[in-house]
Chain A
Amino acid sequence: GESVGLHLPTLSVQEGDNSIINCAYSNSASDYFIWYKQESGKGPQFIIDIRSNMDKRQGQRVTVLLNKTVKHLSLQIAATQPGDSAVYFCAEASGYSTLTFGKGTMLLVSP
């Protein structure tokens, strides 16, 4: 079946840098995308979502970009902080389908 995947398994950045986490999806019918953050020992936590009728959405320090042409999703974190260290998952859904998750990218933020 179609799946969602991530380009980079681990991303190391310095505190204060901007981080970009990328995600490729293969289901062209997907119309809803979410980024989740999972800290060690915790469940995934919703960060931001975007629907396919948009190409950009901003939250607090985070921005999600959607490029439907190349089926690419990215999460930008501004002024990355040590507390941002976690595994980040992208997930996609189409219509009433259930979410399909990628394998995750580990973000490591050094002080």
Chain B
Amino acid sequence: DSGVTQTPKHLITATGQRVTLRCSPRSGDLSVYWYQQSLDQGLQFLIQYYNGEERAKGNILERFSAQQFPDLHSELNLSSLELGDSALYFCASSVSTGMNTEAFFGQGTRLTVV
């Protein structure tokens, strides 16, 4: 158990809908990262938050957004969902702001868009 908790584990929704994925980082970790993993791609970095503020952006679509709350949990919001958004979404956390330290991953949320 990495200490990073993601909910829900599975999510099935229709195209055009909006969903929210939740992540609770390890105790003491200030950084939260979101990654997308689809069948034909590796782990694609989406966005990072550090202590409530956006720190870095990767290949995140405009339809997607995220935030980190004062208690350090984070939510990833996916809207106007398309079939191609079906993927595993992982959250990771680390102590510091940079990825130059060990990051711990959650079990992921499997999103299926039908």
Contacts and interface: CB of A to CB of B under 8 A. Distances in A.
Interface string A12-31: 00000000000000000001
A99 interface: yes
Interface string A71-95: 0000000000000000001010101
Interface residues of A, number: 24
Contact of A96 (B41, B90, B98, B107): B98
A100 B59 CA distance: 11
Contacts of B58: 98
Interface residues of B, number: 25
A103 B98 contact: no
Contacts of B107: 41-43
B108 interface: yes
Contacts of B43: 44, 89, 91, 101
A97 interface: yes
Given A96-B98, A97-B56, A97-B98, A46 B104 contact: yes
B24 to A, nearest CB: 14
Given A97-B56, A101-B45, 9 more contacts: A44-B43, A44-B90, A44-B92, A46-B104, A49-B102, A95-B98, A99-B103, A101-B42, A103-B41
Interface of B: 2, 4, 33, 35, 41-45, 48, 56, 58, 90, 92, 97-100, 102-108
Interface of A: 31-32, 34, 36, 41-46, 49, 89, 91, 93, 95-104
10 contacts: A43-B4, A45-B2, A46-B103, A93-B99, A95-B98, A96-B97, A99-B99, A101-B35, A103-B41, A103-B42
